[in-house]
Amino acid sequence: MDHEKTILQTVNPYNEDPHAKEFGITFENKLTIVKGRVLPPPVLKFNDQGKVKEFLPKVGKWNMRLKQMVKGGEVNTWACINFASDITHAAAVAFCDELAVMCVISGMNFKGDPVLPLVNAKPNHVRPFLKKHYQRFMEILRPLHKELDLLIVILPDKNGTLYGDIKRICETDLGLVSQCCLAKHVLKMKPQYLTNIALKINMKVGGRNTVLLDAVVGNLPRVSNTPTIIFGADVSHPHHGEGRSSPSIAAVVASQDWPEVTNYAGLVRPQARHEEIIQGLFNENDCGSGCISGGMIKEHLISFMRSTGHIPRRIIFYRC
């Protein structure tokens, strides 16, 4: 209601505007009523190893009780860093143990022991701290020809720019999959929260939580009949209080698993501050001998072809 009043207060003065009157333009003092409808939910398909193999969601919600992920990902090497001063070392370790158990119950192959014992840290100097400890992890893993599959990060409830800094460093500097968890959830360790985090981790390490039953039986309109890639794109802008040098971040995701279209890869690019047009979708670089095209769209198309063995014949693009 407050939002409605604000809109009406903004529009009403225009009825007295002399230019509007000159052109015979008037504005009604009520909002347009639009009829809506609720689309029927799709049936979800889960792993046949669980007791519940198919499920019809209600009001857009469902849980993982008696269900297992369609494809459980693997986390063989992982570590945890705790930036929350009010979370004790013991509480953080207990949370990681419970999270690992929940990942296994949900269908993942999640090794129970971290590469190194949990590390407590202060939010100051995040970049050098993360890089230092990443090197510690790799000193152990590199001789074994392994990478760090997952970094679990515990954050204070009020973390300011810490979350964004960690994501940026892990994604762009270290090439590392990370999962951030707030302190208040770590203390409570509710099963529903642990399940939600397990689902997020599974998607990040290449697993699939569920698929549409219609996709499995080849009954998705405009998708099942021809190789299709689905894009989603958006731009996030720096909040008030962040430095003037903080860029906007463009993100583009694309499906990688036709015909199921449930597994998505993501790419992010910094761009001009508060610029809404995505600048990194397509670009050309002059290398002297000719122009070489690139950009996030091309990267996703190549990735799609490699993962599915098909060149996409149809593109569906959602711009948020």
Predicted confidence (pLDDT) per residue in 293-302, tens digit: 889 999 999 9
For the cut 90, the answer to whether the pLDDT of residue 14 exceeds it is: no
Mean pLDDT within 173-193? 93
Decide if pLDDT at 292 tops 90.
no
pLDDT 10s digits, 223-255:
999 999 999 999 998 876 666 778 889 999 999
Q: Which one has a higher pLDDT value, 104 or 30?
A: 104
84: Cβ contacts below 8 Å, ≥ 6 apart: 92, 154, 155, 156, 157, 183, 186
Q: For all residues of the chain together, what is the average pLDDT?
A: 90
pLDDT of residue 241: 65
Task: List b or e across 167-206, with b for residues whose CB sees 16 or more CB atoms inside 10 angstroms.
Answer: ebbbbeebebbbbbbbbebbbeeeeebbbebbbebbebbe
Tokens linked to 209: 């939580």
Q: Provide the pLDDT confidence category of residue 263 given band limits of 50, 70 and 90.
A: confident
Phi, psi of 293 (to 5 degrees): -85, 155
Give the pLDDT of residue 24: 86
Is residue 159 pLDDT above 90, yes or no? no
Please, where in the chain does CATH 3.30.420.10 lie? 218-319
Fold designation for 74-205: Rossmann fold (3.40.50)
Q: Looking at the predicted structure, is the pLDDT value of residue 316 above 90? A: yes
Shortest CA distance to 174 belongs to which of 212, 126, 223, 245?
Answer: 126
Q: How far apart are CA 65 and CA 93, in angstroms?
A: 25
Residue whose token pair is 């209080």: 241
Please give the pLDDT value at position 299: 95
| pLDDT confidence band for 287 (50 / 70 / 90) | low
Q: Which CATH superfamily is domain 218-319 in?
A: Ribonuclease H-like superfamily/Ribonuclease H (3.30.420.10)
Task: For residues 309 and 312, give the distance between their C-alpha atoms in angstroms, rounded to a whole number.
Answer: 10
pLDDT (tens digit per residue) in 66-104: 999 999 999 999 999 999 989 999 999 999 999 999 999
Highest mean pLDDT among 5-19, 53-67, 153-167, 182-196: 182-196
Q: Which residues pair with 265 in a beta bridge?
A: 254
Q: Residue 60: its pLDDT value, please?
A: 81
What was the pLDDT predicted at 310?
96
Yes or no: say if 73 and 108 are a contact pair by the CB < 8 Å rule.
Answer: yes
pLDDT at position 7 is 79
Find the Cα–Cα–Cα–Cα dihedral 262, 299, 145, 209, rounded to 10°.
-10
Asked whether the predicted pLDDT for residue 289 surpasses 70, the reply is no
Q: Facing residues of 234 across strands?
A: 251
Note the Cα 247 to chain centre separation in Å: 19
Give me the pLDDT at residue 102, please: 95
pLDDT confidence of residue 72: 94
What is the phi/psi pair of residue 309, to 5°? 80, 10
Q: What is the mean pLDDT of residues 103-113?
A: 93
Find the mean pLDDT for residues 137-157: 94
Residue span(s) of the chain under CATH 3.40.50.2300 come to 74-205
